[in-house]
Structure 1
Amino acid sequence: MRTFYSLLWYLLLPFLFLRLWLRGRKAPAYRQRWKERMAWGYRPGTLRRSLWVHAVSVGETLAAAPLIERLLADHPQTPLLVTTTTPTGSERVKALFGDRVTHVYCPWEVPSALKRFFRAFDPQLVVVLETELWPNLCAETKRHGARLMLMNGRLSENSFRGYRKLPRLVRPMMAQFDVLAVQTPVEAERYVALGAWPERVHAIGSVKFDMTLDEPVRQKAAALRADIGARPVWIAASTHPGEDEQVLAAHRDVMARHDDALLVLVPRHPERFDDVASLVRQQQMTVARRSAAEPPAQAQVYLADTMGELLMLFGAADLAFVGGSLVPVGGHNLLEPAAWQKPVLTGPHLHNFTAISQLLDEAGGLSMVNDAGALATTLLALFDDAARCRAQGEAAAGVVEANRGALEKGLTLISEQLTVNS
C-alpha cells in the first residue's frame, strides 16, 4: 500500500510545483526555496544526532514555541532542527528563534527526498505536532534508527473516520510511533483504534494551555490600546474567505448602537490582506492598516496585516471572536484570548478544537454564534453588560489556568526518548 502511495507522490510532483508557483502570485515566498521541498542541495552530515521538531504553519509554530524554548534550555548540546511547510510558519520560526535553531522546510512525502533529508540532518528523535501523520516520514524515521514521537496530538472525529478508511496504510504508520502524547482520553482511544500501541499513548492535555503572557507582550498591548482610545473594541481573529463579510456585517450592526466601535480584523493568511482591505472599503467603512503604521484612533476597522502579533492584539481588545468557525474550517486557537481574560466568541464549526471549546463552554467562558446576526447580538449584549463581560472573561481564563501542565509532561517524555536513543 505504501508503495502505491509513494508512486502517487512521484506522479503528483509536477502539480505540486505548479501549485507553489500559482500560490506565489499572491504570496511570493511560495516561489522561493523550492529545493528544500525535495531536500536537494544539502550536505550529508549537516547536523549530527539532532532533535527534529516538525510544525506546519504559524499556529503550530506558536503553540510549539514554549516547547522549543525549553528544549533549547534543557538540551543545549543537542542540535535542534525545526521544520515547517509554509512560508508564514518559516517566518515565525526565524523571528522567534533566529540562529538558535536550524530551520528548513519539511520535504514532501517522496522517499528519495526523505532519505536525503535524514542523511543531512541525522535526527535521533523526530517530534511531529498535532496531526502531522505522514507514512513515508514515519517509515524513514524508523529506517534511520531514530525515535518517533507525536506531541500535542489531536484527532477529530472526521479525521478519525477518514484514517480508518485506509487501514493498510495507517495501521503500520501508527505502530511505528514510540510515544504519542495526545490531548484527551478520547483522542487516545482513537489513536489506539488506528493502530498505535496502547502502552505508548499518553493523554497529557494540550500544550496550548501553557502559554505565557510575558511583559513585552503586555506592554505592546497596552500601548496599542492607548493609541485606540476609550471606545468599544472587538477583534475578529484568523478569519477566512466567506467569514470577513459576516464579520463586517456584524460590525455594522454594532456601530448602529455604538458609533465609535472599532473592529480589529486579522485575516488568517497574509496573501489576503489587500483583498480584505478592499472589502472593508467596499462596505464603506474607514480602515487603518497596521503594516502602514496608520493610526487606529479614527478608523472603524483596524486591519492587522502583520504577522506574529495576534497574541498581543487580543490584549488590546475588549471582546474576541475567533475565526475559521463561521465557515467549515474547524476553528482556531481559543485559548489565546482566554488567557487575556477576554470573553471568547466563536462560530459553530469547531471540530479542530472540540475538547477545548467544551471546557470553555462548560465554564461559561464561550459564546457560540451561528451567523452575522447572532454575532452582532452577542457582541452588543456583552458590550452593554460589563459584569457579564467580566465574568465570562474570568471564566475563560480560569480554564486556561486549570489545565496547565501538558508542557512539563511532554518534556519528560521527550527526555525519556532521547535517553533511550543516546
Structure 2
Amino acid sequence: MSVFNKIIILSKKLASSLLKDEKPTDLEASDIFNDADKAYILKNLTDETLIKERLNLANQVKKKEDWEKVKSNITKPSVRFLYWKYTAAAAVIGLLATTYFFRGTLFNNSNECMPIIVNNNIKTGTDKATLTLEDGTIIALEKGNNYEAGNFKSNGEKIIYQANNRSNSKIAYNYLTIPRGGQFFIELSDGTKIWLNSETQLKYPVSFIKGETRNVELVYGEAYFDVSPSVNHKGSKFKVINQNQVVEVLGTAFNIKAYKDETNIYTTLAEGKVELDFNGKKQKLSPTQQSNFNLNTNALLVVNVDVYNEVSWRQGVFSFENKPLKEIMKVLSRWYNMNVVFINEEIGNEAFTGVLGKDQNIEDILATIKNFGIINNYYIKNKTITLK
C-alpha cells in the first residue's frame, strides 16, 4: 500500500474520531504507518512553510463558508449533523491529501515532459439549468438571472416551489435539465430538497395532490434527495422513478446515479430507509448500503460503501478511493464539459485515490494526477484532453 493511500485511510480514521467525539491518538497512526513511512513523511511532508503555501494555493474545501451557507438552509437536526459529518471528513482528508498532492511538484527532481496546451477552452462547471414548463415554454436559469412565475422563483442558482394549498385533480409537470458543466438545486412544493449533478434531467409536479403518493422521475443523470417526511404530508409516500427502478421512501436522504451512457443504476442510502423495486423484485437498503442494478442483465448487487465518496460531488469536491482513471475522467468530463482520449487504454485502469476541488481548473487537476505517476503527460486542445 502506498504512503498516500495510508494517509487517506488515516484521515478517514481521524474524521471518524471527530464524529464520535473521540480524541484522535497516535495509536491510530502507528497502526498504519511503519518506520519507513514515518521517515518519508517527516522528510517530505512536514515543511511548515511549504504546507502553508500549498494549502493557500489549493484551498479545495472552503469548510467554514460552505457550512454556514448550508446550515442557514437546514432545520432538521439529523440532516444538520449529516452535513457536518461530510464537511468534517472533507476538511480532514483535504488537509492531508492536499499536502501530499503537491509533494510531487517540489520533491520530484526528475526531468518530466511539460504538458502541451493549445487553446484551452475547458471551463469549470457552474450553476445553470433549463426549465421546461408544461406548455413547452423553455427558460434558461443561470447565475445572476432572476425569474419568478406561478408558485416558483429562481435566482439562477436554485429554484424554489411554494406549497399550493389547492386540491388539484390534475398534476402539472415541469422538467429541469442540467447540461454538462452544470449543477443545480431545487426545492419541491412539499419541501423535498434535491441536488442535481451535471448532465441530469428531473421530471416533477409543480404541486402535489394532498394524500396521494408524491412521484418524481429522474429521467437520467445523478441526484441527491433529502425527502420531506411522509408524516408532514398526511402519510403520503414519496417515490423516485428511474427506468426500471422505483425507490420508495418515507423520509430520508439518498443518492441515485443513472446516466444515459451507463448500464448500471447506483442507489446509495445516506440516512433513513428505502425500498427499491426492480421490475417487481424488491430490496430494502440500510444507511451506507449501495445497490447496483444492471439494466442489461437485471442483476442486483448490494454492498456497503463510503457514503462520503458517493455524495461529495454536491459539496464542492470529488472524492475518489482506488477509482480507475477512466471512471474518474468520465466524472470530470461531465463537470468540465470536455472530451477525454486515452492514447494507451491501460492507463485508464490505473487506480487513483484523492480529493479534488470542483472549483479547480482542469490543468491543476491533471497536474495532480500526473504527479502521482499515473499519466506520463497530457495534451489539451480546445475542449479535448489527450492522456498518455
Which interval holds the TM-score relative to the shorter structure?
Answer: under 0.3
Superposition TM-score, scaled by structure 1 size: 0.25
Question: When the two structures are superposed, what TM-score results if normalisation uses the length of structure 2?
Answer: 0.27
Q: Which has the higher strand share?
A: 2
Flag the structure with higher helix content. 1
